[in-house]
C-alpha cells in the first residue's frame, strides 16, 4: 500500500474510528484460508460455545498461527500491518488471531470496544487495532460487524442498556475492516436462513500490553524458529524498546534463533531520542 493511500485511510480512522479497505485480499489467499477453516472446523469438531459474547450460532477458533501456517501470512500482510504500525507503534504486538463463522439465527453481540479493559480515561490513544478479514460478503442480514462511527472519541465505554445508533460495516469478500480499539462495535445478527458469514480477526496491541491470546504457550518452539523474524517479533519473541520482555538480560527469541543475537536488554534500550547509553 502506497503512502498516499494509507494516509487517506488513516484520516478516515481518525475521524470515524474505522475504515474499509476493498480488494485487499488476493482471491487465491481467500481460497487458501477458506479451505483451511473448513478443514480445521471438521478436524476439531468446532461448535458454537453458547454464550452472549462468543455467540450461540457462531463457530470460533483462536490462536490460528498454531493451527495452520497459511495464517502466518496475515499479521505481516502489506495491506494491514502498516495500520497497526502507524496507529500503535512499530514495536506493537500481535494480540490475537480468531476465526468467526457466524451462522443463521445468531443474535447480535453487545456493544463493546476492544481495548475497554485498559483503565485510562477516554478519549485516548488507541491501545489496540482490530482488523477483520472478510472471506465472504459481509451484509446487514448475515451478521456484518456493526460500528458506532466516531465512538472512539466518546468519554466512556458502552453502558448496559445504553441506546446508540450503529451501522453495518457491509463489505465484499476480499475486503478488510480496520478498527481503532476504542471504537464501539459488535458482531451483527444473522437473520438469513442459510448464509454463513466467515471472517478472521487479526488484532494488534501496544507492545507494553498483555496480549489477548497467549502466543508463547500456543506456539511450538519449532514454529517460532521457522517463522519470519518480523512475525516472531509481533508474537513477542523480541524485546520491546530494547528492555521489556527479556530473559536473563537477553531477547527471548535469541534462544530460538528468532531474533538478532546481539540484542541484549538495557544495552539496546530504545527511547524517543534513540538508543539509551548503558
* Distance in Å from the first CA to the final CA of the chain: 38
Could you report the per-residue pLDDT of 52-101, keeping only the tens digit for each?
A: 889 999 999 999 999 999 999 999 999 999 999 999 999 999 999 999 99
Main-chain phi, psi angles of 264, to 5 degrees: -115, 135
32's grid cell: 487458501
Whose grid coordinates read 534463533?
Answer: 257
Alpha helices in the chain (DSSP H): 3-16, 27-43, 81-87, 215-218, 221-226, 229-235
100 three-state secondary structure: strand
Task: Note the pTM of the prediction, 2 decimals.
Answer: 0.93
Domain boundaries, the chain: 3-205, 215-275
Residue ranges with strand state E in 111-175? 128-134, 146-147, 167-168
Q: Are 179 and 169 in contact (CB under 8 A)?
A: no
Q: What is the dihedral of CA 139, 142, 143, 148, to 10 degrees?
A: 30
For residue 247, is pLDDT > 90?
no
* Overall average pLDDT of the 156-170 stretch: 93
For residue 216, is pLDDT > 70?
yes
Cβ neighbourhood burial of 237 (10 Å; 0-12, 13-18, 19+):
buried
Specify the pLDDT at position 278.
46
**Of 147, 209, 208, 211, whose CA–CA distance to 180 is shortest?**
147
Q: Indicate the CATH number for domain 3-205.
A: 2.60.120.620
Taking the CA atoms of 74, 78, 81 and 87 in sequence, report the sign of the dihedral they define. negative
Task: Report which DSSP code applies to 197.
Answer: E
Whose grid coordinates read 470515524?
Answer: 16
Could you report the per-residue pLDDT of 220-242, keeping only the tens digit for each?
A: 999 999 999 999 999 999 899 98
For residue 268, is pLDDT > 80?
no
263's grid cell: 540484542
Q: How many residues does the chain have?
A: 278
For residue 263, is pLDDT > 70?
no
Residues in a beta bridge with 168: 146
Residues in a beta bridge with 113: none
Give kind and range of the element (H or E) at residue 62: strand 58-62
Report the distance separating Cα 184 and Cα 18, nearest Å: 10
Q: What percent of the chain has pLDDT over 90?
A: 83
Main-chain phi, psi angles of 146, to 5 degrees: -105, 135
Amino acid at each position: 500500500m502506497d503512502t498516499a493511500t494509507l494516509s487517506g485511510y488513516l484520516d478516515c480512522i481518525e475521524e470515524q474510528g474505522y475504515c474499509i479497505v476493498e480488494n485487499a485480499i488476493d482471491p487465491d489467499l481467500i481460497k487458501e484460508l477458506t479451505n483451511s477453516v473448513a478443514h480445521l472446523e471438521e478436524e476439531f469438531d468446532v461448535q458454537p460455545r453458547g454464550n452472549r459474547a462468543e455467540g450461540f450460532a457462531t463457530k470460533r477458533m483462536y490462536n490460528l498461527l498454531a493451527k495452520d501456517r497459511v495464517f502466518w501470512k496475515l499479521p505481516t500482510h502489506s495491506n494491514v500491518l502498516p495500520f497497526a504500525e502507524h496507529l500503535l507503534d512499530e514495536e506493537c504486538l500481535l494480540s490475537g488471531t480468531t476465526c468467526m463463522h457466524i451462522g443463521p439465527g445468531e443474535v447480535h453481540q453487545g456493544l463493546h470496544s476492544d481495548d475497554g479493559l485498559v483503565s485510562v480515561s477516554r478519549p485516548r490513544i488507541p491501545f489496540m487495532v482490530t482488523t477483520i478479514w472478510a472471506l465472504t460478503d459481509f451484509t446487514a442480514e448475515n451478521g456484518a460487524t456493526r460500528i458506532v462511527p466516531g465512538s472512539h472519541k466518546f468519554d466512556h465505554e458502552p453502558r448496559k442498556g445504553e441506546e446508540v445508533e450503529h451501522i453495518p460495516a457491509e463489505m465484499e469478500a476480499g475486503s478488510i475492516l480496520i478498527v481503532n480499539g476504542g471504537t464501539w462495535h459488535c458482531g451483527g445478527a444473522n437473520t438469513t436462513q442459510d448464509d454463513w458469514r466467515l471472517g478472521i480477526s487479526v488484532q494488534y496491541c501496544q507492545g507494553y500490553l498483555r496480549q489477548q491470546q497467549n502466543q508463547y504457550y500456543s506456539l511450538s518452539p519449532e514454529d517460532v524458529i521457522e517463522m519470519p523474524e518480523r512475525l516472531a517479533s509481533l508474537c513477542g519473541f523480541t524485546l520491546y524498546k530494547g528492555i521489556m520482555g527479556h530473559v536473563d538480560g537477553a531477547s527471548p527469541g535469541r534462544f530460538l534463533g528468532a531474533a538478532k543475537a546481539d540484542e541484549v536488554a538495557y544495552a539496546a534500550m530504545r527511547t524517543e531520542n534513540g538508543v539509551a547509553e548503558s
